[in-house]
């Protein structure tokens, strides 16, 4: 395989990057545009913190369940082989 599809992707990326450079070049020359961002409220901060906690707990539970599943698998595999040998 000569990597034909890969070369096509590379050429698309080059075209995209050159277009990006053309459009962002104007913004880089001038000063920074004014931002109208508002600081997040306390309610938003609490929601973000709650979401982080939820994600962390969900991840920890999944890892725990996965480890237990592995242990059960090994346990049953060993029992199976002991039964087969006897």
Q: What average pLDDT score do residues 56-63 get?
A: 97
Evaluate whether residue 9 is within a structural domain: yes
Per DSSP, 5 falls in state H
Residues 60-82: tens digit of each pLDDT: 999 999 999 999 988 888 888 88
Evaluate whether residue 51 is within a structural domain: yes
Per-residue pLDDT at 27 exceeds 80: no
Evaluate whether residue 35 is within a structural domain: no
Domain count, the chain: 1
Evaluate whether residue 72 is within a structural domain: yes
Evaluate whether residue 34 is within a structural domain: no
Task: Provide the residue range defining the domain that includes 81.
Answer: 4-29+41-85
Evaluate whether residue 20 is within a structural domain: yes
Answer left, alpha or beta for residue 72, where phi above 0 means left and psi between -120 and 50 means alpha.
alpha
């Amino acid at each position: 395989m000569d990597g034909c599809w890969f070369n096509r992707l590379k050429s698309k990326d080059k075209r995209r990057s050159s277009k990006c450079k053309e459009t962002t070049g104007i913004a880089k020359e001038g000063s920074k545009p004014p931002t109208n961002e508002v600081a997040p409220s306390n309610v938003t901060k609490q929601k973000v913190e709650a979401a982080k906690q939820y994600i962390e707990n969900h991840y920890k539970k999944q890892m725990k369940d996965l480890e237990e599943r592995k242990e059960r698998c090994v346990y049953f595999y060993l029992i199976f082989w002991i039964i087969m040998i006897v």
